[in-house]
Amino acid sequence: MSSLDQKPRNELQIILADEHKQQEQTQGVNGVLARMLRLIFFDLDINYPFLEKRVNRLVMTAKADGSTQSLKYLYNKSNLIRGFSRAEMTWRSLVRNIKILGFARVTLILKLERPGLNGEPDPSTATFHSVPLNLGNYDYDELEDDGKEKE
């Protein structure tokens, strides 16, 4: 039986097995970031075997590098898998998860619309704002030896 035929064992497998990647099952302001990650899963048709392979590679690299204990905790496979599954997500978690997917650059784009006379968003008032973020290779360059982000 292939891993695609198996019954989902964890929350991430359940999310990825869902036709719409459970995009609607996110919570609060930080739920927007979790929803974005699930939209990425949906748009790119990400499956569990792909993510598991990416996470395994990252964990093996951390172990081979002789990383500090805090980095070993940060790059623990079960912690990483759970991080993909959360209904709320911080910016740091979203960026880490996008890097694990293998991307090197993110451009954050916001579209802002003012309300029209009827109170609904007026498309004619739309403004767009973007900020590029180079992620680089996933090689711990954004972490100090104690596992905390550099300022």
Q: What is the pLDDT of residues 25-58, one digit of tens each?
A: 776 777 889 999 999 999 999 999 999 898 888 8
Q: What is the pLDDT of residues 56-71, one digit of tens each?
A: 888 877 777 666 655 6
In the 3-class helix/strand/coil scheme, how is 77-134 assigned residue by residue? HHHHHHHHHCCCCCHHHHHHHHHHCCCCEEEEEEEECCECCCCCECHHHCEEEEEEEE
Instruction: Mark whether 55 and 80 lie in a shared domain.
Output: yes
Query: Has this prediction a pTM greater than 0.85?
Result: no
Print the domain residue range for 114.
Answer: 104-136
Asked if residue 68 belongs to a domain, the reply is yes
Instruction: Mark whether 43 and 99 lie in a shared domain.
Output: yes
